[in-house]
Amino acid sequence: MTKIIVSGFSISLDGYGAGINQSLINPIGENGTGLHNWLRATQMFHKMIGKEGGLEGIDNDYAIQSMAECGAFIMGRNMFTPERGEWSDSEWRGWWGDNPPYHAPTFILTHYPRAPIEMEGGTTFYFISDGIISALEKAKALSNGKNVKIAGGVSTVRQYLQAGLVDELHLAISPVFLGSGEEMFNDINIPALGFVVAKRDITENATHIILRK
């Protein structure tokens, strides 16, 4: 059965999922790169970007699982591009090069329509301008019965949480403070949404928490 999941989502010790002032130089905002130190060290991530090496172990297991059994992805426009407003850069095709790591239909939430973009490796970016429910329905329809992953960023995850549409979350709490940025759980009552801690693991680079209903 298709589940709606958030997995491999990194937050800081003070609850931020991204820093301020996202840009081409700082795609996760100022000081945001430290959120993903746990992921970048893994064998899975090295393989994904075509490099040798990387660490095995708990972080690597969670990294692999964060992309497993995902038949479609949903993300906010800010995760796809630093551009704001009307689409003006027709050459921009995401941060990930010609072969993004998704290898499945990937739906971008936006206020500005745009034609789909077919990439190498099975990823097609679809631009959805009529809301989160429409994006979810379309993602489910093309997921082949696999999970739909809400990939981010913070605003997108929060919208799906607030709508009660997320079945499971895997949070990787990184041992860093951002001080400011996009807060993950501000005004969101996780217990009231029915979530409980189902699993946790601690490594040098992250505390992994699985929340399930």
Amino acid 23: pLDDT: 84
6 bridge partner residues: 169
Confidence of residue 132 (pLDDT cuts 50, 70, 90): very high
Amino acid 50: pLDDT: 87
Overall fold of domain 4-79+100-212: Dihydrofolate Reductase, subunit A (3.40.430)
> Which of 106, 135, 143, 142 has its CA nearest to residue 121?
106
Amino acid 32: pLDDT: 92
38-67 tens-digit pLDDT = 999 999 999 988 899 999 999 999 999 999
77-112 tens-digit pLDDT = 999 998 889 999 888 999 999 999 999 999 999 999
In degrees, rounded to 5, the angle at the alpha carbon of residue 155 between the alpha carbons of residues 116 and 196 is: 115
**Locus of tokens 């999970």:** 147
**Locus of tokens 């959120």:** 35
156-169 tens-digit pLDDT = 999 999 999 999 99
Quick one: CA dihedral 44, 14, 33, 124, positive or negative?
Answer: positive
Q: Is 173 helix (H, G, I), strand (E, B) or coil?
A: strand
Give me the percent of the chain exceeding a pLDDT of 90: 90
Task: Quote the tokens at residue 132.
Answer: 């989160």
Where are the domains positioned within the chain? 4-79+100-212
* pLDDT, mean of residues 178-194: 96
